[in-house]
Each structure stands twice: as structure tokens, then as C-alpha cells.
Amino acid sequence: MIAKVQRKASYQDILDAPENKVAELIDGELVLSPRPASPHAKASFSLGMDLGPPFDRGRGGPGGWWILFEPELHFGANVLVPDLAGWRRERMPVVPNVPFFTLAPDWVCEVVSPSTGRLDRVRKLPIYLRERVGFVWLVDPLCKTVEAYQHNGEHWVIVGVWSEEQTARIPPFDAVELDLTLWWLPE
């Protein structure tokens, strides 16, 4: 029996992907995920609204960050699209006018869903670790939880887990208290 050799996916596969999918390359495989459903979209938007003014714009907070929605990150042959990512301005003084970023962010947020949770945890977290992303948040809008991880040089260290009814100060954005109840769809 002759084994069928599957070719490694390329960036052209991302460009050719359906517009209603989020396309990523992970370890040579094209991974297509559905566009976010409403709980996911609400959590992403609310999180961006909470972090943008105090950190990206410096209103009511320390500033010093660029916060972007769904930036395309190129790490060697891997192409990842987190829900949000942030760069400290001391590392990236201006946001370049580019279609993708090769500089690893200082913070990444993945809003997990039933279709992406395993991918985010099992396949993407090791890549973020290898690329030395400082912090990763996993936000679950169905369970209404936030898990925060910090890179310690060799592995992820869990900073904490917060639930739906809490306010929280979550590194690296612990200068501002976040009202997590605003991130979820009402029951």
C-alpha cells in the first residue's frame, strides 16, 4: 500500500481560506476556525473596551501599550491569530503599517469556545511560550472565567483564575480593576 503524503500548508492556503473562517498555520497544518459567536464576540469587545482607554490610550491608567484585535502573528512557519494582543510601547514604539507582526506580543488573549479551546490550550500555548510572550489570558465566555498565565522562562505559571462575578486586577494590566461581569452575555 502506498502512503499518501500530505503537503504542508502554506501562507497561500491562508489567503485562499473562506472569509467566514479564521485561518491559522500551526506546525504545517492549516487550521480553520469558525468566526466567533456572540458570547465570544461580546467578551472580546468588552475586554478591548476595558483595556484600551487606560493602557492603549492612557486615559484613567498608565498607558504604555498597543492593544490590537485579531493581529496576525508570524512565528517562523506558524501563523497565529489571537483574539487580542498587546505590545509594550518600549518594545514597539509605533504600530507599523504591516499585514502581520513578527515581533512577539507581550500579552495575548485567547477567547476560548467549544471549537477552539483545545487548539488554544494544546497547540497555541506552547508556541506562545517558545516565542516568549510574557502573559496569556484564556477567557471562557461560556464558563465565565479568566485564566492568566505568565511566562517564567521555561514554562507557564498560572497567575490566577477569576470567575464571572468578580472584579480583578490581572497582570500585566493589574494597575486597573476590571469588572468581569461586563464581559459576559446576560443569562
Query: How big is the CA angle at 66 (ends 20 and 26), to the nearest 5 degrees?
Result: 45
Identify which of 103, 100, 135, 116 has the alpha carbon closest to the alpha carbon of residue 43: 116
Q: What is the pLDDT of residues 3-51, one digit of tens each?
A: 444 678 999 999 999 999 999 999 999 999 998 899 999 999 999 999 9
Show the cell assigned to 34: 469558525
pTM: 0.94
* φ, ψ for residue 109, nearest 5 deg: -125, 125
Rounded to whole angstroms, how far apart are CA atoms 41 and 105? 21
Q: Convert the pLDDT of each residue in 141-186 to its tens digit.
A: 999 999 999 999 899 999 999 998 889 999 999 999 999 999 999 8
144 contacts: CB under 8 Å, gap ≥ 6: 163, 164, 180, 183, 184
> For all residues of the chain together, what is the average pLDDT?
93
pLDDT for 71: 98
Are the C-beta atoms of residues 37 and 169 closer than 8 Å to each other?
Answer: no
